[in-house]
Amino acid sequence: MPDPDPRADRPRGPRRLTRALEAKAPRKLAARRGGPPPVLAGLGVFGLIGWSVAVPTVLGALLGAWLDARGGAQRSWTLALLVAGLTLGCLNALAWIGREHRAMQSRPPTDDEEGDDD
- pLDDT tens for each residue of 54-63: 999 999 999 9
Per the CB < 8 A criterion, the answer to whether 81 and 60 are in contact is yes
Q: Report the 3 state secondary structure along the chain.
A: CCCCCCCCCCCCHHHHHHHHHHHHHHHHHHHHHHCCCCHHHHHHHHHHHHHHHHHHHHHHHHHHHHHHHHCCCCCCHHHHHHHHHHHHHHHHHHHHHHHHHHHHHHCCCCHHHHHCCC
d(CA 115, CA 21): 16
**What pTM did the predictor assign?**
0.55
Whether pLDDT at 81 is above 90: yes
pLDDT band for position 87 (50/70/90)? very high
pLDDT at 118: 46
d(CA 109, CA 34): 13
Mean pLDDT value across residues 33-39: 67
